[in-house]
Amino acid sequence: MGDFNLALVIVAIVVTVLVFIFNVYLLINYQHPDDANQAYFPKFVVVFGLSVAAISILMLPADVANRQACSNAIYNGACNLTLPMKTLWLVVYIVDAVLVFLVIPFAMFFYEGDQEKSVGKRIKSALLWCGTSVIVCGLVLGILYGVIGKVDFTVRHLSSSANNFPNDWKTFSSGQPCGDSTNHQCSAYTANAASESTWTMRTTFPEYVVALATIVGSVLFSIFGGVGIVSLPLGLIFSFIRRPKAVITRSQYIKEATELGKKAKELKKAADALRQEEKNGAKGRKWRKNVKAVEKELLLLEEDVKALEEMYPQGEKAETSWALTVIGYLAKLVLGVLGLIVSVAWIAHIIIYLLIDPPLTSFLNEVFIKLDDVWGLLGTAAFAFFCFYLLLAVIAGAMMLGLRLVFITIHPMKWGATLMNSFLFNVGLILLCSISVIQFCATAFGYYAQATAAQEIFGHTLQSLRGIKYLYKYNVFQIAFVVLAGLTFIYYAIFGWRKRKPSGRFQLAT
């Protein structure tokens, strides 16, 4: 057993190093050329935040493996040699909360500060904003923890009378567990409702911080995840359906390029007007709304330019570019179909295991257990894949809603053209939702992940917190997730076939 536990520790260290290296690779390839050789602090926050998010997702499968490490122990102290998962969970999620609510906002305020000001003034301004956030968050957390930072466990007092040991083993049966010929059920089984009572205790402050962060993340998760679980695969499939069928002629290319040029001039004129308003100090609600509208139209214009380049490849390798475009859309179709299968499995599992009481079947839990029987880590790997897919769905849902709802700030991630503020925003979103993804997976796969440290934190403490437990008792987040998934499917069924058209609406101040 000691050798197995040592191997688990080595695997955890190796995976952590690989995650860090991969995130550095993402940063280098996604960053905008304007941020090269500068903005080192935001870059460190991005790499560290992505690493924490990835590690937190991988910790649930590690928790399951850690539980299995001592499940067949031959001596009592074997489980003391495993990883201290409960402590690791609390450390990771406290770091997660600090990054989301303190470090990332500071990095964004510092990065977006007036470049004409000195570094000291930008730091001072960012600290002022973050200091205000710390005071407000500290007061809210302290008051809530002092007033309702308790867990209420419903317990039932069970008792059973002792009977003489029977001479015949056949006396015991599932219908007569007590061996009493007159009472076919023990008194412990038939305890009345009056024997129920509430056991109240105060939770630890770190667990309470994790719980509140989970609630905030769960709201976003229900919205973005419910939309993304459908839009992720169907977006890929409809992208294949709306793909360019053939290369256009040169005259068509010139016509389309001229139209895009006119739109680009309109956008530049709108952006100049907004910049002038900013200099005049007219940064009101209407100005911010117009800025987001311009950002949205600019993003759509860039997509139109990319689509035009696909339909009319140029250069010496035009035929190769067109062939790669066709292969790329075929890959989207394949990934979309596979993703659709995973999405249907997720939604079906939520309905039959979480929303129906009692569950019809444990479904995916049984699948993971059977995969573990085939090979020790196969079920764990499939379990990790489903958790990661859910996080990808959250990101896809945020991008979809950001493109269609002006009041959501758009921070697109583009290869070789992503500014640090967009990086930081998306990292914050991933970190905030990763907590809820883990909690959701710990609940959805409660049978497979039973007796783990995550179950103790997310399955017992979180769902018994005073004032919060009713959200989980009545499956509010799961119901919202499924409802939004259904509405998104209806949206794609009606409008998914149509090609998007830019609105071009700018309500600029005079």
pTM reported for the whole predicted model: 0.74
Q: Where are the domains of the chain?
A: 1-153+203-243+313-496, 250-311
Are 471 and 139 in contact by the 8 Å Cβ rule? The answer is no
Average of pLDDT values for 215-233? 88
Residue 1 has pLDDT above 50, yes or no: no
Tokens of 8: 């688990």
Give the pLDDT band of residue 334 (cuts 50, 70, 90): very high
Residue 344: the pLDDT is 94
pLDDT digits (tens, 9 = 90+) for 98-108: 888 788 888 88
Residue 502: the pLDDT is 44
Average of pLDDT values for 239-258? 84
pLDDT digits (tens, 9 = 90+) for 387-434: 888 888 888 887 777 666 555 566 667 777 777 877 888 888 888 888
Give the pLDDT band of residue 504 (cuts 50, 70, 90): very low
Helix (H, G, I), strand (E, B), or coil: what is residue 156?
Answer: strand
Give the pLDDT band of residue 346 (cuts 50, 70, 90): very high
Give the pLDDT band of residue 476 (cuts 50, 70, 90): confident
pLDDT digits (tens, 9 = 90+) for 184-217: 555 555 556 566 777 777 777 777 777 777 788 8
* HEC profile of 205-268: HHHHHHHHHHHHHHHHHHHHHHHHHHHHHHHHHHHHHCCCCCCCCHHHHHHHHHHHHHHHHHHH
Residue 473: the pLDDT is 76
Among 55-69, 136-150, 303-317, which is the least confidently predicted range?
55-69
As a whole number, the mean pLDDT across the chain is 76
Distance CA 222, CA 484 (A): 8
pLDDT digits (tens, 9 = 90+) for 67-94: 665 555 444 444 555 667 777 877 887 8
Distance CA 311, CA 322 (A): 8
- The single-letter code of the amino acid at 343 is S
